[in-house]
A and B are shown apart, each in its own frame.
Chain A
């Protein structure tokens, strides 16, 4: 996936560079805040480690070998933000010094591998590992899946970048100026190699290294383990909330409606009638206009409402925390 110059147009590369910049900026800010003076040596040495890991030839099932990117293990050990920076720096040095990947394509390559890769790997790892113990085999499966899915997500994004080139950039005679294959060729061509060899390499290295760390250096897995007492304690509450949301359509079974619930009932005062038309809700009567099923509309409304409440609480919590700090 270290794509050289010339496969994507300069404008595509510029857009992806611009898209990567906020992630780099946010990562640098977070790392600086969390690590202070430790940031520079940690990122430098880990970027150097990522660079070397990309040179390892890994034995894969089927007798072949392949190179891993190491993005899965970087996201698991360091967290997504440090991983974004470490992998980006390794890719930049590979491109500029070793000519592996194009100079104009640095932003695009970093977007696909460092940013998408790190965020997907971290998300999948946390999702699958849940609150499992550090030494749990579930974490090995989670790491292997994280590496596999992350590398394939990056490859898919790269394939889409290639696939749109012939549509956007061609000369007067119709000859493509950059990657020549449309989406229906670019996506399978890119994904076959990554779903098999490259994906397996990343899977082997991510799962294998986590298994080794569990035995030898389990403390390195603690930073992103997500093991918190608060989450475990509230897990039954979240489960109950989920069940309640699914049960909300039960109300639709009841015959009739409460007086004045949806509209001013007979004999309602004039002022109440006038005010009823003052505001129209986005989802009136818990029935989104694009859904025909009343039951599904109820469940969807429950989910949207709960989501909004959680979001409001999170924002309020963050504001309060910011003020207290």
Chain B
């Protein structure tokens, strides 16, 4: 069964659990960004993500990446974790898309070998793709690695995100781990009962029935949750606690994010 779909699925589920556990642990830490008002972080980091996405200069994207790494270090996020969780998957995905651009983008020849021609425009195009993807992914990850998820959701309310969406996002996040645990137990028990290699057709049937069972359990769970909510007085009205208070240091952080964004825009001109 080595490398079977059950094992690979289990691996994906474990990786997601480990990432979530690691993120929660870091968010509860005492780094620089962890102490900042979540609203400031949402606005500031999203602004920098937008700037990186819109930038037409590689050096500006490079500086933003440097700023993201500096913020990660100040927030006591291990660089090794960033490399494993963020940088490596992004370079594998975006790198595979960017690599052919070196050869396929028409333009001035930068290098030629064995009949292959790498163009200057191709190098820049690949550079834009990879640097943007790495920078925006790093900046985005800073938010969830330094802020508990419920605080991120409450901060979204400040930016007029509909309350029903905030509640659904919060509940979904919670039930992801409940269903993840159910899926893990289902696959683990199946793995422990399986001896030898199953034929491909049987493997597909098992995968479909596993998803079907999970679907039935999920719908059952939604019914139970609904009844539990009703029994506690839920009649469709939603109230959220919004207990943020911006301190002087939060305003300074906001000024800092704004200054980086203005500097980035200045260098575009």
A49 to B214, CA, bound (A): 8
**Residue A282 lies at the interface, judged by CB distance under 8 Å to chain B:** no
Stretch among A98-106, A117-125, A311-319 lining the B interface: A98-106
Let me know if B49 and A104 touch, CB within 8 A: yes
Q: Which residue of A lies closest to B61 (CB)?
A: A6
A67 to B97, CA, bound (A): 19
Let me know if A220 and B175 touch, CB within 8 A: no
Q: Which residue of A lies closest to B209 (CB)?
A: A212
**Residue B141 lies at the interface, judged by CB distance under 8 Å to chain A:** yes
Let me know if A6 and B53 touch, CB within 8 A: yes
Q: Given contacts A10-B54, A36-B236, is CB(A99)–CB(B214) below 8 Å?
A: no
Q: Which residue of B lies closest to A44 (CB)?
A: B171
Let me know if A98 and B19 touch, CB within 8 A: yes
Chain A residues near B212 (CB-CB < 8 A): 208-209, 212-213, 216-217
Chain A residues near B86 (CB-CB < 8 A): 99
Q: A273 CB to closest chain B CB, in angstroms? A: 62
Let me know if A56 and B211 touch, CB within 8 A: yes
Q: A47 CB to closest chain B CB, in angstroms? A: 4
Q: Which of chain A's residues 195-242 have a Cβ closer than 8 Å to chain B?
A: 204-205, 207-209, 211-213, 216-217, 220
How many of A's residues come within 8 Å of B, CB to CB?
72
Chain B residues near A95 (CB-CB < 8 A): 140
Please classify the interface of chain A as helix (H, G, I), strand (E, B), loop, or mixed, using the class held by over half of its residues.
Answer: helix
Let me know if B208 and A212 touch, CB within 8 A: yes
**A interface vs B, CB < 8 Å?**
4-7, 9-10, 13, 28, 32, 36-38, 40-49, 51-53, 55-61, 63, 65, 70, 73, 77, 85, 89-90, 92-93, 95-99, 102-104, 171, 173-181, 185, 204-205, 207-209, 211-213, 216-217, 220
Chain B residues near A65 (CB-CB < 8 A): 5, 8
Chain B residues near A90 (CB-CB < 8 A): 172
Q: B11 CB to closest chain A CB, in angstroms? A: 8
Interface size class of B (residues with CB under 8 A): 35 or more
Q: Given contacts A47-B172, A77-B215, is CB(A37)–CB(B137) below 8 Å?
A: no
Chain A residues near B50 (CB-CB < 8 A): 10, 104
**Residue B68 lies at the interface, judged by CB distance under 8 Å to chain A:** no
Q: Which residue of B lies closest to A213 (CB)?
A: B212
Contact of B204 among A42, A99, A175, A204 (CB under 8 A): A204
In addition to A52-B214, A58-B204, A175-B124, 12 A-B residue pairs with Cβ atoms within 8 Å of each other are: A6-B136, A36-B236, A44-B172, A45-B171, A45-B175, A55-B13, A65-B8, A70-B211, A99-B137, A174-B121, A180-B98, A208-B204
Chain A residues near B67 (CB-CB < 8 A): none
Chain B residues near A99 (CB-CB < 8 A): 85-86, 89, 137, 140-141, 144
Q: B240 CB to closest chain A CB, in angstroms? A: 13
Let me know if A180 and B120 touch, CB within 8 A: no
The 9 listed contacts between A and B (C-beta, < 8 Å) are A10-B54, A37-B235, A51-B172, A52-B179, A58-B5, A59-B204, A63-B200, A98-B16, A205-B208
Let me know if A208 and B175 touch, CB within 8 A: no
Chain A residues near B211 (CB-CB < 8 A): 53, 56, 70, 73, 205, 208-209, 212
A185 to B101, CA, bound (A): 11
**Residue B20 lies at the interface, judged by CB distance under 8 Å to chain A:** yes
Q: B105 CB to closest chain A CB, in angstroms? A: 5
**Residue B132 lies at the interface, judged by CB distance under 8 Å to chain A:** yes
Contact of A96 among B85, B132, B143, B204 (CB under 8 A): B143
Contact of A180 among B104, B133, B149 (CB under 8 A): B104
Let me know if B56 and A171 touch, CB within 8 A: yes
Let me know if A208 and B53 touch, CB within 8 A: no
Stretch among B32-40, B72-80, B220-228, B257-265 lining the A interface: B220-228
Let me know if A5 and B49 touch, CB within 8 A: yes
The 8 A-B pairs of least Cβ separation, nearest first, read A208-B208, A6-B132, A44-B171, A212-B212, A5-B136, A175-B124, A57-B8, A45-B222
